[in-house]
Chains A and B, each alone.
Chain A
Amino acid sequence: QQPVQSPQAVILREGEDAVINCSSSKALYSVHWYRQKHGEAPVFLMILLKGGEQKGHDKISASFNEKKQQSSLYLTASQLSYSGTYFCGTATTGGGNKLTFGTGTQLKVEL
């Protein structure tokens, strides 16, 4: 079953912050985050593993709450280059070697 992402779409002004959420109905082992720009391949951002860790690089970070079976991606002081579609991919405990991706969140950053 696909994880649920919210919001489906968001428009920001440059410099604003955004949060994208990813929720699963099943126990999660790991969560991946990817960004896809229009016409390009999805690009890996980060992985979070069971243990409730938080990760980040530059102004993009993420958290993983295994009890709530959800992850959140935080984009701070957004830049035009952050525009694209963000996907979370989840691996469930006992679900084998595969990720199931959400339907994506379209993010557009404007001047």
Chain B
Amino acid sequence: AQSVTQLDSHVSVSEGTPVLLRCNYSSSYSPSLFWYVQHPNKGLQLLLKYTSAATLVKGINGFEAEFKKSETSFHLTKPSAHMSDAAEYFCVVSKMNRDDKIIFGKGTRLHILP
């Protein structure tokens, strides 16, 4: 069975400070992991994905995430927050099988303080 837990429903950081959005997953199989971002009244946009290649994945807009199998985590980070980063972020786990499944986390809303 698969599941994904985003540990914080809201995160607030000041502009220019680091961002950490936490995600833990469980999967019976080697999963594919994604982070998507959703700005208000918009669809989801892919930030980055992990598919069993390098464990440190770099994405768009300066975001990156590290796959840690021992901790079953895939936390999203950014060294310096920008006002435009204010949005909702979703951690997603998927597995490739005859019976593909895709599970979304509940989302973390990121607030950027001026």
Q: Do the two chains bind?
A: no
Q: Which residues of B contact A (CB under 8 A)?
A: none
Which residues of A are interface residues toward B (Cβ below 8 A)?
none
